[in-house]
């Protein structure tokens, strides 16, 4: 049964089947959205196995909460929020935050973002995956999802200063690694 592509991305009949626990509908939903959700999971995790765990857990939560989807806004956006929240929950179980007031050496705080604008996306992904969990999550929430530090602080249960310093440190680490990559590339030429 093809899905009708109107503005929400899935139609009412299909949603009804999903809510009723129809296995074929669940499979179809998975096949359709898994690649895009996996890309998100890769960004929030340290790579392969962790991303797969996150993908499975995210889909389980989607199936469990389907009855709460009211058709406001695109279905994929609703799904993404569940996946991001699942990533954050996993993080909160793992990470012990060092709280700071965001006082950073000036040179760290003033870094321009341009260095990773021209880096191939897959290279950036690899670098982001290698960041410590806390840095990686704050970087994703701020740079990719576009949340404010206040929102991130609320989501992660930390203060705004901690969010800011995690972002600055994440950027500093990325910046250093990117410069190293670029130097290596110049040597290889």
Higher-pLDDT residue of 134, 178: 134
79 with 135, same domain: the answer is no
Q: What is the pLDDT of residues 105-146, one digit of tens each?
A: 444 444 444 455 555 667 778 888 999 999 999 999 998 889
| Residue 101 belongs to some domain of the structure | no
d(CA 124, CA 117) in angstroms, rounded, equals 9
Residue 141 sits in which domain range? 106-188
pTM score, whole prediction: 0.69
What pLDDT does 109 receive? 40
- Which of 7, 19, 87 lies closest to 51, judged by CA? 87
What value does the mean pLDDT take over residues 145-168?
94
58 with 37, same domain: the answer is yes
Q: For 122-128, which contacts have Cβ atoms below 8 Å and span 24 or more sequence positions?
A: 123/181, 124/174, 125/42, 125/43, 127/174, 127/177, 127/178, 128/43, 128/174
Higher-pLDDT residue of 80, 182: 80
123 with 55, same domain: the answer is no
The number of CA neighbours under 13 Å toward the Cβ of 159 is 8
Predicted confidence band of residue 101 (pLDDT cuts 50, 70, 90) = low
16-43 burial by CB neighbour count: b if 16+ within 10 A, else e? Answer: ebbeeeeeebbebbeeebeeebbebbbb
114 with 177, same domain: the answer is yes
- Which of 129, 142, 127, 115 lies closest to 45, judged by CA? 129
Tokens of 111: 């870094």
What value does the mean pLDDT take over residues 81-102?
80
Q: What is the DSSP string of 149-163?
A: HHHHHHHHT--HHHH
Lowest mean pLDDT among 1-5, 73-77, 125-129: 1-5
The CATH number of residue 180's host domain is 1.10.10.10
| Residue 143 belongs to some domain of the structure | yes
**How many structural domains compose the chain?**
2
């Amino acid at each position: 049964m093809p899905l009708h592509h109107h503005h929400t991305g899935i139609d009412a009949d299909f949603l009804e089947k999903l809510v009723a626990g129809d296995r074929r509908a669940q499979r179809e939903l998975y096949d359709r959205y898994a690649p895009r959700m996996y890309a998100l999971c890769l960004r929030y995790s340290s790579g392969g196995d962790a991303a797969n765990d996150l993908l499975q857990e995210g889909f389980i939560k989607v199936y469990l909460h389907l009855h709460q989807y009211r058709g406001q806004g695109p279905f994929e956006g609703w799904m993404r929020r569940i996946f991001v929240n699942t990533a954050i929950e996993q993080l909160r179980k793992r990470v012990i935050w060092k709280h700071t007031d965001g006082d950073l050496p000036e040179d760290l705080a003033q870094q321009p973002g341009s260095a990773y604008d021209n880096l191939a996306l897959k290279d950036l992904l690899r670098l982001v995956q290698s960041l410590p969990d806390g840095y990686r999550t704050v970087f994703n929430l701020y740079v990719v999802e576009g949340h404010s530090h206040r929102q991130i602080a609320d989501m992660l249960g930390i203060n705004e200063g901690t969010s800011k310093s995690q972002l600055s440190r994440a950027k500093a680490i990325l910046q250093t690694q990117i410069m190293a990559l670029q130097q290596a590339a110049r040597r290889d030429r």
